[in-house]
Structure 1
């Protein structure tokens, strides 16, 4: 990549924003000038990038005509409020907040490339998939030469960092309160998450599904190229700071060849298959890593046409920041 680009990063002071800055440097992304942006409350902070301190500035006053590409790692409300202004300035946008409909901002699995996207031109508007969709789609895409899913059932135990830095801080506060024998009053959550497991992440619709669960199903359908694929998703909040753990069940037409499945997973880029008899964990394996870890590969207890496996992935680094950077690398290689 001989050409360099001016880049904006919105939400620079959050966990994902900080991870994006680290990865842009680690992967030698062709950055000419990096503009770090956040709310007026966070403006004035500084982050290190390529040996110098880059000051965080207010998003409201920034002119996006200065940059060719913007990462939006702030909340969904920020993306909804700003994306038209960004595109009008001729700047492409990669959104990490799941704010926009997939028909407007398609999601991309970098390992599968950009071939499935509708024909379009700059400025581009793309969504980086939710972290659990990234991990699930990566596994199912690797298995495509062997099997086609007819139904997907996913139970996702999500880290507190799914809720942003406030989720991490609340889990830490609750843990400290309980360990010190003090009475606990949850803040920002409706109940205790420390030493607990919450079966709901976000508000529910009339059918009892959370917005994240609906989004996850839609993203998997798009990423796998099967718009009518039945997807059942349950997202729970786990007392873990970073790293998601997923139980994936896939129904297929024929009997599952577990040995063949394992061979494909072992050879797939971006996947680390844990040997039979062992299993990966978020804390012990996935956190801080760029791979998605897979274990407990097996057929169904009573149905040989069902594949079950366990997935552990770093939701902030791999699921969010690295995926967004990889999407950007594809864009600048082929289109920008």
Structure 2
């Protein structure tokens, strides 16, 4: 019998935490004991697991020496409060919050930079990047041998689930209120989200950049091992429940070969290249799926050294939960 591993999921009642539990079951991860943890406010609820309901307990009282891997799918503050305790107890940490510095927990997308694990001491701390960075790195990774990338420009259209369950509930509430001609009072977002576009996601700094934009820039450079590439990012909030979409423009040093690029993407793990003349959407294609969908692959209107394309993927499932479980699969590969 193969070895089993005791697992903790912190933030188990959130959208990402619940999806991690679901994917662990779907992929038949060798889980021995599953411990579901959350804040005191969420403790006491239950999450389905292997035909039964597992009770969620409070993270503050948990003994991390009883597990080998901990998924941190709560806030960055929670990760910073408990990750060191977990590592000191001999538990590997997979952080999905962006709460740890890269020097402490390098970002990892297994299809792109899985070799990062080889140089880490055990028990290790690793991070999953933002869902947009994960999706874009997955697409650009197979192209590094074909293109000398100078600049990447991205408009990231982010689903409201990027704000957690509260964002999903807020969009549903606003939509219902407007359709029933009731007065709208924004709560999670600073203005109307339903049937609207918001030009920023989060509070900007003095230069006008929001934290998620700066995070995407640094994560993309790290994942691709291209620290000098120029990256321009605009994150906008769109009235979509699940599924991020990216409009991407890549500036290269020589003319792009669309046929060669298409072949590389078509052969890459985790990518579904949509035929020319068609394009993917989050609702029609990506939601609930394990692939990153790419479409509208084309060179610039008047610049043969410009590559443009469209990307969409399930931000909760593919961009966060599945990536984290794939990282865990790498961690246990040599010991299971």
Which bracket does the TM-score occupy, shorter chain normalised? over 0.9
Q: Counterpart in 1 of 2:221? A: 221
In 1, Cα distance between equivalents of 2:220 and 2:22: 28
In 2, Cα distance between equivalents of 1:149 and 1:113: 18
Q: Counterpart in 2 of 1:293? A: 293
Please say if residues 112 and 137 of structure 2, whose CA atoms lie closer than 8 Å, have aligned partners that are also in contact: no
1:223-248, CA deviations, whole angstroms, 9 ceiling, x for partnerless residues? Answer: 00011211111111000000001001
In 2, Cα distance between equivalents of 1:206 and 1:176: 36
Q: Counterpart in 1 of 2:129? A: 129
Q: Counterpart in 2 of 1:248? A: 248
In 2, Cα distance between equivalents of 1:239 and 1:164: 14
1:101-120 pair list within 5 angstroms? 101-117=101-117, 119-120=119-120
CA deviation after TM superposition for structure 1 residue 220, in Å? 0.4
CA deviation after TM superposition for structure 1 residue 118, in Å? 7.0
| 2:323 is the alignment partner of 1:323 | yes
Q: Kindly tell me: are residues 210 and 118 of structure 1, through their superposed partners in 2, closer, same or farther at Cα, counting changes over 3 Å?
A: farther
Which piece of structure 1 moves more, 239-248 or 85-94?
85-94
Which piece of structure 1 moves more, 280-289 or 122-131?
122-131
1:150-299 pair list within 5 angstroms? 150-299=150-299
1:118-152, CA deviations, whole angstroms, 9 ceiling, x for partnerless residues? Answer: 72221111111110111100000121231131111
CA deviation after TM superposition for structure 1 residue 113, in Å? 4.5
In 2, Cα distance between equivalents of 1:116 and 1:327: 11
CA deviation after TM superposition for structure 1 residue 34, in Å? 0.4
CA deviation after TM superposition for structure 1 residue 35, in Å? 0.2
Q: Counterpart in 2 of 1:46? A: 46
In 1, Cα distance between equivalents of 2:161 and 2:208: 23
Please say if residues 299 and 305 of structure 1, whose CA atoms lie closer than 8 Å, have aligned partners that are also in contact: yes
Please say if residues 64 and 89 of structure 1, whose CA atoms lie closer than 8 Å, have aligned partners that are also in contact: yes
Unaligned stretches of 5+ residues in structure 2: none
Q: Counterpart in 2 of 1:81? A: 81
Q: Counterpart in 2 of 1:143? A: 143
CA deviation after TM superposition for structure 1 residue 327, in Å? 0.6
TM-score by length of 1: 0.97
TM-score by length of 2: 0.97
Please say if residues 122 and 335 of structure 1, whose CA atoms lie closer than 8 Å, have aligned partners that are also in contact: no
1:66-101, CA deviations, whole angstroms, 9 ceiling, x for partnerless residues? Answer: 111100001111111111111111111001111112
Please say if residues 113 and 224 of structure 2, whose CA atoms lie closer than 8 Å, have aligned partners that are also in contact: no
CA deviation after TM superposition for structure 1 residue 52, in Å? 2.0
Aligned-partner SS, 1:99: coil
In 1, Cα distance between equivalents of 2:92 and 2:119: 15
In 1, Cα distance between equivalents of 2:163 and 2:72: 16
Aligned-partner SS, 2:232: strand
Unaligned stretches of 5+ residues in structure 1: none
1:135-194, CA deviations, whole angstroms, 9 ceiling, x for partnerless residues? Answer: 100000121231131111111000000000000001011111100101111002111111
In 2, Cα distance between equivalents of 1:116 and 1:301: 38
1:31-70 pair list within 5 angstroms? 31-70=31-70
CA deviation after TM superposition for structure 1 residue 47, in Å? 1.3
| Alignment RMSD (CA, Å) | 1.3
In 1, Cα distance between equivalents of 2:228 and 2:146: 20
In 2, Cα distance between equivalents of 1:120 and 1:285: 36
CA deviation after TM superposition for structure 1 residue 109, in Å? 1.1
Q: How many residues are paired up?
A: 336
In 2, Cα distance between equivalents of 1:17 and 1:52: 17
